[in-house]
Amino acid sequence: MLTPPILIQQMMAFDLNGLPPRWRKQCQFMSQDLSNERDQPLSVKDWLNEVYFEQDKSSELTANDIAQIGELISRLLKMEPSLRATTTNILDNSWFKSS
């Protein structure tokens, strides 16, 4: 079951900068619950690799493509709005121009 502590833990895994400072105080009460969780969440890149390449499925994208896509998605998922990439930043990435 997805509980608030698990959701916060997953959000923190997707954003290497962690929680914005103004959120930390509000989320401190969950820190003990987080330490009791067994499973560590996957990064975006690891999650994409696990899902995309599971069970030897035929893949149209390479591992490098998945790594680049994971990096782009991570830039969009920043919890602090001022740190998020804009759509223009993302679309200017060389990965979109090389395809």
DSSP string, 60-90: SS-HHHHHHHHHHHHHHT-SSGGGSPPHHHH
In angstroms, rounded to a whole number, what is the distance separating the alpha carbons of residues 83 and 86? Answer: 9
Confidence (pLDDT) at 92: 94
The whole-number pLDDT of residue 80 equals 84
Torsion from C-alpha of 60, 73, 8, 46, nearest 10 degrees: 40
Q: What is the pLDDT of residue 28?
A: 65
At 63 the pLDDT is 87
* pLDDT confidence of residue 16: 63
Query: pLDDT (tens digit, 0 to 9) for every residue of the chain, 99 residues total?
Result: 667 777 777 777 777 667 777 777 766 656 555 555 546 667 778 878 888 887 777 778 888 998 899 899 989 988 888 889 999 999 999 998 875
Number of domains in the chain: 1
Could you tell me the residue range of the domain that residue 52 belongs to? 4-98
Give the pLDDT score at 99: 55
